[in-house]
Structure formats: C-alpha cells, structure tokens
Amino acid sequence: MAEFDNLPGGGKHTPPKDFVCPITSNLFDDPVTLETGQTYERRAIQEWLERGNSTCPITRQKLQINKLPKTNYVLKRLIASWQEQNIDSVPNQSENPQPEPEPEPNMKSILPSSSSSDSVISQATIDRTMSELQLAITNLCMSEVLKESEMAVLQIERFWQEVNMDVDIHSMLSRPAVVNGFEEILFNSVDPRVLKANIFLLCEMGFKDKDVIQTLTRVDTDVECIVALFKKGLMEAVVLIYLLRPSTASLVEMDMVDSLLKVIKKQEGDLIQMCLKPKTAALLLLGQMLGSGEESIGSSIAKTLISEKMIESIVCSLGAEWAEERIAAVGILLRCMEEDGKCRNTIADKADLAPILDSFMGAGDAERFEIVRFLSELVKLNRRTLNEQVLHIIKEEGAFNTMHTLLVYLETALQDQCPIVAGLLLQLDLLVEPGKMSIYREEAMDTLISCLRNSEFPTAQLAAAETIMSLQGRFTSSGKPLTRALLLKRAGLDKSYQTLMRMEQLRNSPEESEETTPQEEEKAADNWERKMAFVLASHEFGLLFEALAECIKSRYASLCSACFVSATWLIQMLNVFPDTGIQGAARVCLLKRFVSIFKSAKDVEDKALSLLALSVFIHDPGTYQYSNQEKLFYVSEVFVQRLQYLTVVVNSCDPHALHA
C-alpha cells in the first residue's frame, strides 16, 4: 500500500457548499450576492463581466447591474465562524481544494480558458480539475468496488480528452501504481465503453512514456489479456499491442492475422482518435510478421491478403502521413507480388508512388532496397505501355531526382543488391533518347558487368543475370519474364509459347479493359526490346558478351541458364543493329561456346536456342576470317545441315527426333 501513501483525496472536512465560490471552488474571501440570488467571489465575477458576459454564470439570467453590490458581510461572518471551529481543516487557498462530487453540468462550457497565470477563473478551473482528477485516481487505485473504479476510468478519460489547459495530467497517471490500476480494469471489466477508454489512456501514456510500456510488459499475462481483448473485437487495443513491441515470434504465436485485417478494413471514422491510428498499428504489426523470415508464414499471410481482397486497402497506406507505415505497406505488397504476381496490376493501377519516392531519402539501407525491389517488381506488368507509364511516374513524380538518388544509392548498396538497383536505373534511363551519352547508363552497365564477373558472390552474379534477362521487357501476368519462351518461338518451337499465351488468356479477367490494342502493345514491346538490346550489347563494344560467356561455364545451373538465354537474345538481336563491330565481339566470345552447347545439350529447347544464335553467326561474313578457314568452313557446313534438319523436325512436330 506504500504506492498510495501520497495519493491525494480525502483527509479534510469539506466546507459547506454555500461557503465556496462556484467559479473558483475556494472559500469566499469577498463574497458578493447578485440580483439573481447567486453569490460569487468579487474578483471572479468581476473578471467574468469584464470578459463581456452579461448573464449570471449559474442561472444564465440577464444582469441589470452597473456595478457589483457591496460585500455580503453576513456570509463572510458565517464563514469566519466556521473557520474558527474547523481550524485544522481549513484548506489553504493556494492548495487544491476538495472538489464537489459532481460539478455543475454547464461549468465546463461557461468557463473559458486563459493563458494568463493571473486569471482568477482559469486558475480556479485548473485547481478544480486537478482536484477532481486526484479523486478519480484515488478511486481507481483504492476502491474495491468495480463500478467505482470503472467510473474513475471514464472520468479520467474525459479529463484527458476535454481539458485544454497547461495541466500535467500525464505525470499523475503514469506512476506504476496508477498504471497497475488501469491493468486491473482490463482484467475485471466487461463494459466495452470502460475498456475502450482504458485502452485509449494506456496508449496515450505509453506513446509518450516508455516507463508505462515497461510497467505493462513486466507480466506476460498482461500482454495476453490485451491480445485477448483485441481478438474479441476491441480494435483500439491493436495500438497498445504495437506499443508493447512484442517479438516477431510471439506475434506469430498470437494468431492475430484475421483481427489485424478487420482493423485495416475498418473505416477510420468508426474508431476513436488516438496517438496512432489503429490501421497504422495493424499494418506495422502485419509487416513485422511478414518479415519473420519464415517462408511458410509469409506465404500464408500473403495468400490470405490476396484471397480477402485486401490489396487495395494496403495500397492506400502507400500515401500515409507516417513514413514507417508507407514502408511497411511496401514490404507487404512486395511479398504479395512474390506470392501472386497478378496482383501487381491492381497495385500499379491504384498506387500513389510519389510518397514512396519521397520516403527513400529518409529510409534506412534495408528499407531503401525494399523500395527499389518493390518498384522493380511493379514494372513487370504484362503490358509494355503500362510498364512505361509506371517508369515515367517513378522518374518524374518524386520530390527528388529519382535517377540521381538511385545513382548515389548504387555506390553504397550491397553487392547482391546492386544488380536490382542498376536494372531499375537502366530502365529509367532508357526513357530518354538512348543514343545520347548518360552517366546513369554507364554506371548501371558497369555495375551489371562487374557483378556478373564477381565469382566470389554467386548471388550477385545470378541477380545480375536475371536482371539482364528481364530487361527484354515482356512478362506474363504473374511477372515472369517471357524471354526464353519468345526466343523458342523465334527458333520455331512455338508450342510452349502458344500454351503459355493461352494460359494467360484464361487467367485474365474478361472484364479487364485495355486502353491499347494488341498490335499497339506488340509495337511498344518491339521498340523497347530493340532499344534495350542495343544499350546492353553496345556498351564498351560488346563487353557484356565477354561476361556472359564466362558465366555460361558456371557450375551453378541457374546462373548458366540465365546467361545462356540472355546471350541468345542479344545475339539474335544483332541482326537489327547497324554493323558497328559488336557482332565481331559477340562472335569471338560466344561462337565456340554455342557450338559446344549445340553438340552436347540433351534438352531440345537448349539445342533450338543455341542454333538460333549460331544461325546469326553463320550469316555473318566475319565468321570466315579465322586462320583455320577449312575447319571453320566445315563447322559452318555442319551448322547448315543441322539447321535444315531442325527445320524438318520442327515442321513434322516430332521434337524427339532432335536427339537423333
């Protein structure tokens, strides 16, 4: 009980009501009785009238007086007599007096606040408020009657919400004894109004004072109680759960996903105003759970978000006022795109990207990379025209120069992050005329080639290879690159491509409106492919071909495959470029490698892709300018024969014959 020794409350005899000024709540010193029969302290009623009021504060009747009446000496003598009889109980006027159990109902509205420390009315109002608050705190902490404690919570919440004065209520409420009193209410009360007020007060205090949070987290059962209330429908409790900062593991164990989604769906107007919006807290907790590192957990949550059609609700948070909420939304949406790439169409259509771009400068390193990944995934739409629209938004709508920001970030990004950053930077640069020199393009290309060559970081090599392959610019509705399927179609094996396209048509909703025709989309895709291939192939006179050739020999199958497809694509595109010597660089780096693949590959598609590239070399006059012309001529003859044979096999629809 030592915690309560200093709690204010009782101990003094309350003066008779008629001896106390209804404005100052202090004993009368110079009482004056107005024509309405109401008595006030002279200084207080004088200030009331000087403020322009012309009615009695209590009765609201019009006052006809020109000046205040004389002192009510009869009342003053009675007060003096009472003081002599209760000398030990006479309150010091500088202290806070004992309040009336219930103040006059309209006193709050008729007593305007003032910033002046000399204001009699303002000081009296503060004194009375503090006294009432102290009594409520005493009831909360000391009363054994639940109803009294519940009423105390509602009183305290009203003080917090309504008092517009320079009163340090927080220091009175944040003491461990008082916080424990609020905790007791959480365990024992079943009144929704009381519980909501209780949660509100704990959130407001905890947001300002970490000591309050420490008091709440000392006992695990307290946290469990708050979570239980949240899952039962007390949505405001999610703010307190967030402030308690539970570990990711404990969050997962709490099984709160459904409850969090209900908060995110809820209209903000239906919830009380708090230090932190419940939707914000729910989103941050959801983001924390998705970042747990457990693939099964992340996948399950992402699937739930998609099936519950929550994507648009999450997208709204991309424009939130709080940067932390925006970045959490980025992480959640990125995970959803990884789970079901088709949702990127909804995100691209609804998202306001400018706030995300503005968040980049103030974000941490991990958050910056998450933003870059999000933007990179967002421009993998199955319509080229939409991709370029989104790229223009990324390039132009931020408060800062996006390309310069990415260039600076590229210098400090981790090795396995660099290819993603470079790929996005290169796409933004391609929106400008590709024939012009560009520091952004040079740095992006140097980064991609450097990562490809760095065999000490296989993850960076693979990221660079996959980035280059995706730069071709065509994707499925799930965001998967179509580069390999399209090359197979160009090689004559269009069965897999046609199957893929039929599946795409089945996945696409018939009601989805398209502003462009398929012909316009194809034209835009061809134009993008041609420009991007030229930028990649012509950098430093074909330096990329050398890096791709090295990686094709890698022992990592995924890296070898990505580089093989990228090299095939770029070689096949050499036919549409002017002869600037790039063909020679490609031939020197890749001819022998593709001959080897063609001879040794067991997979029909790999044979077809290698032959597609070799057909470009066969028709290149430079192929015959080697010293050993006879040997090379023989090889070229074999290529021609194999090409003719492959054509016959493909036309006969018997791909198994390719193994012959």
Does residue 222 or residue 473 have the better pLDDT?
473
Q: What is the pLDDT of residues 2-32, one digit of tens each?
A: 443 433 333 456 788 888 888 888 888 889 9
| Strand-pair partners of 40 | 32
Residues 545-569: what's their mean pLDDT?
96
Q: What is the pLDDT of residue 114?
A: 42
Number of domains in the chain: 3
Question: Are residue 399 and residue 492 in the same domain, yes or no?
Answer: no
158 occurs within a structural domain: no
Single out the residue in 93, 124, 155 at which a domain terminates.
124
Do residues 605 and 584 lie in contact, with contact meaning Cβ atoms separated by under 8 Å?
Answer: no
**Is position 164 within any domain?**
no
Tens-place pLDDT, residues 248-281: 888 888 889 999 999 998 877 667 788 899 999 9
Range scoring the smallest mean pLDDT among 240-244, 296-300, 549-553: 296-300
Do the Cβ atoms of 263 and 238 come closer than 8 Å? yes
Same structural domain, 546 and 429: no
pLDDT of residue 657 exceeding 50, the answer is no
**Tokens linked to 579:** 């002869």
Residue 516 located in a structural domain:
no
H/E stretch holding 33 reads: strand 31-33
Same domain, 333 and 356: yes
Give dist(CA 310, CA 315) in Å, integer.
9
Q: What is the mean pLDDT of the chain?
A: 83
Provide the pLDDT confidence category of residue 578 given band limits of 50, 70 and 90. confident
pLDDT of residue 507: 61
CATH number, domain of 8, equals: 3.30.40.10
- C-alpha span between 418 and 191 (Å, rounded): 56
Q: DSSP readout, 196-238?
A: HHHHHHHHHHHHH-HHHHHHHTTSHHHHHHHHHHHHTT-TTHH
Q: Tell me, yes or no, whether 644 lies in a domain.
A: yes
Residue 184 domain-assigned (yes or no): no
CA distance 261 to 233: 12
Domain that holds residue 434: 208-469
How far apart CA 226 and CA 182 sit, in angstroms, is: 12
b/e for 404-425, b at 16 or more Cβ within 10 A?
Answer: ebbbebbeebebbbbbbbbbbb
Task: Say which residues have a Cβ less than 8 Å from residue 285's Cβ, sequence separation at least 6.
Answer: 238, 241, 242, 251, 256, 260
Lowest-confidence range among 105-119, 157-171, 361-375, 445-459? 105-119
Q: What is the enclosing helix (H) or strand (E) of 597? A: helix 582-600
Q: Is the pLDDT of residue 575 over 80?
A: yes
**Quick check: 460 pLDDT over 90?**
yes
Residues 240, 349 within the same domain: yes
Q: Calculate the CA 456 to chain-centre distance.
A: 34
Residue 571: inside a domain: yes
Q: Is 646 exposed, middle or buried (0-12, 13-18, 19+ CB in 10 A)?
A: buried
- Alpha carbon distances (Å) from 493 to 123, 215, 465: 89, 69, 24
pLDDT digit string, tens, across residues 95-106: 444 333 333 333
Is residue 146 situated within a structural domain?
Answer: no
Task: State whether 242 and 103 are in the same domain.
Answer: no
Q: Is 49 helix (H, G, I), strand (E, B) or coil?
A: helix
> Which residues make beta-bridge pairs with 481?
475
Distances from the Cα of 481 to the Cα of 377, 469, 554, angstroms: 11, 7, 22
Let me know whether 86 and 232 are in one domain. no
Please report the DSSP string for 380-407 in residue order.
Answer: --S-HHHHHHHHHHHHHSSSS-HHHHHH
User: What does DSSP assign to residue 466?
Assistant: H
Strand ranges in 262-405 using DSSP code E only, listed in sequence order: none
Residue 604: CA atoms inside 13 Å, Cβ hemisphere, count?
18
Q: Exposed, middle or buried, 106 (CB in 10 Å: 0-12/13-18/19+)? A: exposed
Cα distance from N-terminal residue to C-terminal residue, the chain: 94
Please report which confidence band the pLDDT of residue 377 belongs to, taking 50, 70 and 90 as the band edges: very high
The per-residue pLDDT for 372 is 98
Do 275 and 217 lie in a common domain? yes
Give the end of a domain, one of 124, 156, 184.
124
Q: Who wins on pLDDT, 358 or 109?
A: 358
DSSP, collapsed to helix, strand or coil, labels residue 146 as helix
Contacting residues for 360 by C-beta, under 8 A, at least 6 apart: 368, 371, 398, 400, 405, 409
Is residue 465 domain-shared with residue 491, that is, in the same domain? no
Instruction: Using alpha carbons, list the distances in angstroms from residue 234 to 200, 317, 531.
Output: 11, 22, 56
| CATH number for the domain that contains residue 275 | 1.25.10
Q: Examine the domain organization and report whether 9 and 39 are in the same domain.
A: yes
Burial of 621 (0-12, 13-18, 19+ CB in 10 A): exposed
Residue 598's pLDDT is 87
Domain boundary among 124, 153, 170: 124
- R_g over Cα of the chain: 38
Question: Is the pTM higher than 0.85?
Answer: no
- Return the axis-axis angle of helices 582-600 and 604-618, rounded to nearest 10°: 150
Under the banding of pLDDT at 50, 70 and 90, the label for residue 644 is low
Do 294 and 338 fall within a single domain? yes
- Both 283 and 414 in a single domain? yes
Say which residues have a Cβ less than 8 Å from residue 556's Cβ, sequence separation at least 6: 458, 461, 462
Instruction: Note whether 536 and 452 are within 8 A (CB).
Output: no
d(CA 475, CA 467): 13
Residue 192, domain member (yes or no): no
- Judge if 456 and 550 occupy the same domain: no
- Give percent of the chain above pLDDT 90: 48
